[in-house]
Amino acid sequence: MADPANTPAQPKGATGVLILADGTLVWGKGFGHVGAAVGEVCFNTAMTGYQEVMTDPSYAGQIVTFTFPHIGNVGANAEDIESNVEGAVGCVVREDPTVPSNFRSERSFDDWMKGHLKIGLAGIDTRALTRRIRLAGAPNAVIAHDPKGHFDIPALLKQARDWPGLEGMDLAQRVSREKNEGWEGGPWTLGAGYAGAQKDGRPHVVAIDYGSKDNIFRNLVKAGAWVTVVPAKTSFEDIMALKPDGVFLSNGPGDPAATGEYAVPVIRKLLDADVPIFGICLGHQMLAIAAGAKTVKMHQGHRGANHPVQRVGGVWDATEDLVEITSMNHGFAVDGATLPAGVIETHRSLFDGSNCGISISGKKAFGVQYHPEASPGPQDSFYLFEKFVGML
Catalytic residues: 281, 371, 373
Do 257 and 290 meet the contact criterion of CB atoms below 8 Å apart?
A: no
> β-strands 323-334, 295-311: how paired?
antiparallel
Kindly report the number of other CB atoms within 10 A of residue 72's CB atom. Answer: 26
Alpha-carbon gap, residue 25 to 270, rounded angstroms? 48
CB burial string 116-155: b at 16+ within 10 A, e below: bebbbbbbbebeebbebbeeeebbbbbbbbbeebebebee
Beta-strand relationship, 16-20 and 226-230: unpaired
Q: Within 10 Å of residue 180's Cβ, how many Cβ atoms?
A: 15
Cα four-point dihedral sign 345, 350, 351, 352: positive
CA 38 to each of CA 103, 143, 164, 191, 251: distance values in angstroms, whole numbers, following the listed order? 34, 6, 10, 39, 22
Residues 148 and 16: their CA atoms lie apart, in Å, by: 9
Amino acid (1-letter code) at residue 93? V
Nearest-angstrom CA–CA distance, 127 and 66: 9
| Best CA proximity match to 254, nearest among 276, 230, 232 | 232
Residues facing residue 27 across a β-bridge: 17
Q: How far apart are CA 45 and CA 304, in angstroms?
A: 5
What is the Cα 86 distance to its own chain's centre? 11
Calpha distance 267→232 (Å, rounded) = 11
The rounded distance, in Å, linking the Cα atoms of 313 and 321 is 9
- Helix (H, G, I), strand (E, B), or coil: what is residue 112? helix
Nearest to 347 by CA among 303, 375, 376, 383: 383
